[in-house]
Amino acid sequence: MSSDWLAVIIGNSRLHWAYFHQQELQQSWDSEEGIIPPEWEELPLYLVSVVEAKNLLFQQHMDLRIIKLEDIPLKGIYSTMGVDRALALWGAMQTWGYPCLVIDGGTALTLTGANNQGEFSGGAILPGLRLQLESLATSTASLPRVHLSSQLPLLWAKSTPEAIQSGVIYTVLTGIKHFLANWWKQFPKSPVIFTGGDGEILSQYLIELNTEKTDLLYFEPKLIFWGLKTIVNEN
C-alpha cells in the first residue's frame, strides 16, 4: 500500500478531507465540491459516505476504496447504522478505550456508545442545532434566520431571535444532560467525546452550565479519521 493516501467523508452538508503520509495525518479540510487537489489525484482514495448518490463524484478515480459498515470490526451494530457513526465510535475506542460515548454535533446530532466489552450499546439521533434553527426559518412565515451564539443565551429571552436560540439550545442541552446522567450511571468513569461541526460549542455550553464531570468531556474534530486510519492500517 502507498504510504500516502487521501480520505473523504461525504457528510450531509459538506465533504471532509484528510491527507495521510506514512499513516500520520498531515492535513485536513472541508469543501462543498468533490475536487481532489491535482498533486494528489493519483493517491489511493478511501471514501466514507452517508449520501450514496454523491459517491458518483469519485467513481472515475483510479484507486477508489469505499469503506462500508461491514469493514468496521465493531460488535453489536445494526445493518442500517450510519457508517460515519460506527467509524467515529471506533476511532474513540482506539484513542480513549471503552466504555466511551461519542456525541457528534453535525446536521444530525447523534449519540453513540460502546460498553465496557467494546460493543455498540445503543444511541440516539435528533436534528442538529443548526438544522433546527434553519427549519424554523424556512418552515414558518415570519421567524427569522438566527445563528448560534458563542456563549449561552439568556434562558428567558426578550426578543424573537434570542427566544429561538434559547428554545433550541436549552432543549438540546437538557436532552444531552439526561443522556449523560444515564450513561454515567452505567459507566461512571467513561469519557464523552464530542465531534462534528457543532461538537466544540456543545461541549462549551455544557461546561458553562456547570455540568458534572466536565473533566470527562473531550472535543476531537478529526475523530472519524482516527477510526478510518485504524481500518486502513489493518487492511
Catalytic residue ranges: 84
Return d(Cα 178, Cα 163) in angstroms, integer: 22
Inter-CA distances, 147 with 51, 129, 162, Å: 25, 9, 10
Indicate the length of the chain as a whole number: 235
Indicate the burial class of 126 (C-beta count within 10 angstroms; 0-12, 13-18, 19 or more). Answer: middle
DSSP state, 112? E
Which residue do the cell numbers 443565551 mark?
A: 153
15 has which bridge partners?
Answer: 10, 31
